[in-house]
Amino acid sequence: MDTQAKIFVAGHNGLVGSAIVRALQSRGYINLVTRSSKELDLRNQAAVEDFFATEQPDYVFLAAAKVGGIQANNVYRGEFLYDNLMIEANVIHSAYRHQVQKLLFLGSSCIYPKLAPQPMREDALLSGFLEPTNEPYAIAKIAGLKLCENYCRQYGVNFISAMPTNLYGINDNFDLANSHVLPALMRKFHDATVTDAPTVTVWGTGEPLREFLYVDDLADALLFLMDNYDRPEFINVGTGEEISIKELALTIQAVVGFEGELVFDTSKPDGTPRKLMDVSRLKELGWQANTDLKTGIEQTYAWYLENLDTFRR
């Protein structure tokens, strides 16, 4: 991408979108186009079409989505399916109509079957049943990557899809009702430390294994893919390393400095038992993550403390 190119970052206020903006700006890209959800409702086809007709972006990072943790995915099932289907369909179709040079769509590792062989290879897609708690979100993301793939095949556009593993980092969502496991635990440990609570409760058994990628590493990978990947098939983005929820909790506890006891609420769902990405294709292209989990958690917690009164909670 030329540094003068007009680049639309959809979802620039979110965890991923804000990291993409930081990465682009640090590399000298100055012609960035952004719209908040209040300024542009990406679920509105006419509004999206008008935006593309007016702005005519050269490149698109499609990071806008309705997202959340296990509870949010399970409760707002209709919204997660409808909102994400509409967002991706409108942006991808308008990008095609207005001859965007390249589009990158962000999926999620939840697209894979609940019991997919580990680590999960790209060819495991649609080989089994999805995890029930996030099935609507996963179906929407599968539809988005298939839109990109088939627009490439039918229309010859250069629309690629990246499937990141579990993400965390600067500008994460720390709302206990709707956030993902890592920021939720960080918030719990922080609040417990402030109030001198004796225990912190962790959902589930603590046994499930998860992979976590620092969001600024993801942004670096996405810019790498924009420059080096041009195939219709989607590609995994992750670290290739996993950790149990219990070990994750202990790591966050140490970083935050909580000195109380961990309690595991086994009445709460564990979700998928294991979810590790096979990132061999991305490594073969020449990219791998460089932020270890403890360092990423320390950087995230430092940002959390600095923005305690201003960020999304």
* pLDDT digits 0-9 by tens, 131-153: 888 899 999 999 999 999 999 99
Pair 108, 138: CB distance under 8 Å: yes
Spot the catalytic one: 59, 96, 112, 137.
Answer: 137
Residue 137: active-site member = yes
**Binding region for substrate:** 188, 203, 210, 270
**Binding region for NADP(+):** 11-17, 106-109, 141, 164-167, 180
Question: Among 87-91, 100-104, 234-238, 307-311, which stretch is predicted with the lowest mean pLDDT?
Answer: 307-311
**Binding region:** 11-17, 106-109, 141, 164-167, 180, 188, 203, 210, 270
Fold of 7-171+211-242+275-291: Rossmann fold (3.40.50)
* pLDDT digits 0-9 by tens, 21-77: 999 999 999 999 999 999 999 999 999 999 999 999 999 999 999 887 667 777 879
| pTM of the predicted structure, to 2 decimals | 0.93
Helix (H, G, I), strand (E, B) or coil at 228: helix
Q: Which residue has the higher pLDDT, 121 or 313?
A: 121
Query: Residue 311: pLDDT band by 50, 70, 90 thresholds?
Result: low
Query: Residue 283: pLDDT band by 50, 70, 90 thresholds?
Result: very high
DSSP class per residue in 45-111: HHHHHHHHHHH--SEEEE-------HHHHHHSHHHHHHHHHHHHHHHHHHHHHTT-SEEEEE--GGG
* pLDDT digits 0-9 by tens, 139-188: 999 999 999 999 999 999 999 999 999 999 999 988 877 778 899 999 99
Percent of the chain with pLDDT over 90: 86
